[in-house]
């Protein structure tokens, strides 16, 4: 399927195979999203969720070219209680790099007083925003007085609706953390270049 720039493409295929989550299917969805464009870098993230007695898996594939970011999500779902019939749903979004607003990387370090130069973060959160939309999670505000019945309005959080991935060394392995950091660097570099070229 992949025939161009063998280093980047074979690395992508290797990571899809290593993920073990329908690698041929995810590869075809990514190839369709690339529409002939050359990938510059990628990050593949698999999550497993438990819902009562069912196990659900979900893969997010991020592939960046010189001009756009392809985001692929593939979920699977059992259609019967024995897992003999399974359905996969795939979605693809293509975002021009000039539309990216934020590429944020939040790093968590354990025992910071023992930190030595080059120590790896134990957890990363990669957040990418491009629509500018936010989701408000609101709850009624209160006060410390248990007898107060005044209306104190609402309090809550605003969260980006776009993409947030949490990568943990304990859950995903140290290599996944480093791969996420590498991908974020590549994405920031390409995004900055695209933004500067757009202003010229």
**Do 39 and 98 touch, CB atoms closer than 8 A?**
no
Regarding pTM above 0.85, the answer is no
The predicted pLDDT at position 82 comes to: 66
The predicted pLDDT at position 160 comes to: 60
Q: How far apart are CA 177 and CA 107, in angstroms?
A: 10
* pLDDT by 10-residue block (mean), the chain, 200 residues: 61 92 95 93 88 76 96 85 81 94 92 93 94 71 84 75 90 94 95 73
Beta bridge partners of 140: 154
The predicted pLDDT at position 3 comes to: 41
In the block, residue with structure tokens 């438990």: 50
Query: Do the strands 134-140 and 123-129 form a parallel or antiparallel pair, or are they unpaired?
Result: unpaired
């Amino acid at each position: 399927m992949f025939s161009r720039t063998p280093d980047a493409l074979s690395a992508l295929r290797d990571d899809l195979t290593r993920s073990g989550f329908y690698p041929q299917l995810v590869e075809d969805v990514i190839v369709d999203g690339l529409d002939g464009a050359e990938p510059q870098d990628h990050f593949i993230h698999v999550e497993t969720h438990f819902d009562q007695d069912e196990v659900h898996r979900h893969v997010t594939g991020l592939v960046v070219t010189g001009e756009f970011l392809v985001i692929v999500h593939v979920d699977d779902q059992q259609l019967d209680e024995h897992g003999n019939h399974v359905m996969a749903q795939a979605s693809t979004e293509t975002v021009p790099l000039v539309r990216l607003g934020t590429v944020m990387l939040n790093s968590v370090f354990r025992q910071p007083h023992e930190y030595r130069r080059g120590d790896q973060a134990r957890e990363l959160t990669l957040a990418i925003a491009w629509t500018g939309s936010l989701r408000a999670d609101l709850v009624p505000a209160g006060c410390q007085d248990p007898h107060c019945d005044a209306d104190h309005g609402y309090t809550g959080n605003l969260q980006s609706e776009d993409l947030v991935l949490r990568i943990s060394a304990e859950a995903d392995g140290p290599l996944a953390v480093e791969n996420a950091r590498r991908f974020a660097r590549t994405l920031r570099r390409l995004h900055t270049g695209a933004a500067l070229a757009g202003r010229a």
